[in-house]
Amino acid sequence: MLKCVSHASKVLSAGLALGLMAVAPANAAGDKPAWSYEGSTGPENWGKLSPDYAACAIGAQQSPVDLTGAVEAYPAMPSVHWRTMPLRVKNNGHTLDVIAAPGSFMMLGTVLYELVQFHFHTPSEHVLEGQTFPMEIHFVHRSEAGDLAVLGVFVMEGAANSALEPIWALMPKEPGEASSATLIRPTDLLPDDGALDRYAGSLTTPPCSEIVTWSVYLEPIEASSAQIAAFSQLFGANARPIQASDRRFLLRSD
């Protein structure tokens, strides 16, 4: 009898422990309210969805912006050291993340930023002198201190982009991850011309944290209309509208 109780109790505590383990991540995710690109959970309301998202509404250096009125200057230019890497992708419900293998980084001045992931927006989030592009790629880097540096690349409609082909082929249709032994070379998605605009901004998704040094290349790369459509049909319009520049300086290299 005692043995039975003891056994039941062990099973119960094991079950409880497992239950807690299973519940904890779900609760952690549940603490962050769902957001979207339209309606009551759309960009106009992000700041009201959670105190954690307050910066989306009251921030003073939000992204994206219209890249206009730039000051010609000599901003520190990114020195990109990205490796060829196996392809790993994640449909996070808002965009497609290509998750970087460790070891790819860029230098900005004396600070090293590790490449974490890159992802896509249709249409572009940044606007260049009033012009919106059909797509924009964001290469997200993080420093040891936790600051982010993002390289933005506009995509215009043109020739099919062979560097996107393996990524698109692996794109999960539902939220979730996929990986393959296919090697990709992210540098193939950078424009030839390194001229860029630099400004201090934020994440373009909740919580809109103002921790991002933005570098947006002025020269677009190309992708076919079919490639752009394949992405936008899956994710819809996933671009935050442009934000007030709030007297920030925009630096343009030549």
**Which residues sit at the interface with Zn ion, rule CB under 5 A?**
138
For the CB of residue 45, give the shortest distance to Zn ion in the complex, in Å: 19
Spatial CA neighbour of 197 closest among 81, 98, 63, 99: 63
For the CB of residue 176, give the shortest distance to Zn ion in the complex, in Å: 19
Whether the CB-CB separation of 113 and 151 falls below 8 Å is answered with no
CA dist 126 and 243 (Å) reads: 9
Angstrom distances, CA of residue 91 to CA of 1, 17, 30, 179:
52, 30, 18, 12
Q: Whose Cβ is closer to Zn ion: residue 75's or residue 152's?
A: 152
- Residue whose Cβ sits closest to Zn ion: 138
For the CB of residue 126, give the shortest distance to Zn ion in the complex, in Å: 10
Both structure tokens of 107 = 């230098």
Q: Whose Cβ is closer to Zn ion: residue 108's or residue 135's?
A: 135
Q: Whose Cβ is closer to Zn ion: residue 63's or residue 253's?
A: 63
CA dist 45 and 50 (Å) reads: 10
For the CB of residue 121, give the shortest distance to Zn ion in the complex, in Å: 5
Both structure tokens of 223 = 């992708």
Q: Whose Cβ is closer to Zn ion: residue 90's or residue 138's?
A: 138
